[in-house]
Amino acid sequence: MRFSARDFRTVRCLAAVLLPFLVSSCALLPSRHYTVGLEDSGSTLQLRTGDEFTILLEGNPTTGYLWQFAAPYDETVVILKGDRYISPSEALCGAPGKRSLTFIAEDPGRTGLKLVYVRPWEKNQPPEKEFHLMILVHSDDDSDVPKGSRMRRNSKGELVPDRKRSVWE
């Protein structure tokens, strides 16, 4: 089967018309939403700009303990979109609920989140629980996606290969 020059011109014209639509539709990919919890502490979450994630941490403010940010995070990379307390489903007095923190991936980059479960007035007490999450945000064009192993920050703040599992849904 042979194609004539007219057939090739027709294909080129169709490609010229359809290609802009195909490229622009890639930008319309829906954002993804991830949910992580205490069991995901220490892991790495890879996102694209526009993706959202929620951290759900069990807590009971009636005991005086609260989840607080222990260190600043880069607000140019992720933005806190919502912070709410979800009451327990049981009507039991003193039953634990959940703190829900929802973030949106704003710009490419990396940042870490560290939350501690403490009584704010007990200044010299270690936290009852800790939650750590490394966040890597990539742009939609994949030009800034690191190749090879994922990275995390160690206790000295240095980037090192991440040997823990990643959070993917």
**HEC string of the chain?**
CCCCHHHHHHHHHHHHHHHHHHHHHHCCCCCCEEEEEHHHCCEEEEEECCCEEEEEEEECHHHCCEEEECCCCCCCCEEEEEEEEECCCCCCCCCCEEEEEEEEECCCEEEEEEEEEECCCCCCCCCCEEEEEEEEEECCCCCCCCCCCCEEECCCCCEEECCCCEECC
Q: How confident is the model at residue 164 (pLDDT cuts 50, 70, 90)?
A: very low
Q: How confident is the model at residue 167 (pLDDT cuts 50, 70, 90)?
A: very low
* pLDDT tens digits, 31-70: 799 999 999 999 999 999 999 999 999 998 889 999 999 9
| pLDDT for the residue numbered 155 | 55
* Average pLDDT in the chain: 79
Check the CA dihedral 76-78-82-86 and report its sign: negative
Residue 144 has pLDDT above 80, yes or no: no
Paired tokens of 1: 């089967």
Rounded to whole angstroms, the Cα distance separating 103 from 152 reads 19
Taking the CA atoms of the chain, what radius of gyration do you get in angstroms?
A: 23
Topology of the domain covering 30-167: Immunoglobulin-like (2.60.40)
Q: Is the pTM of this model over 0.85?
A: no
Task: Identify the burial level of 67 via C-beta atoms within 10 angstroms of its C-beta, where 0-12 means exposed, 13-18 middle and 19 or more buried.
Answer: buried
Question: Would you kindly state where each structural domain of the chain is located, as residue ranges?
Answer: 30-167
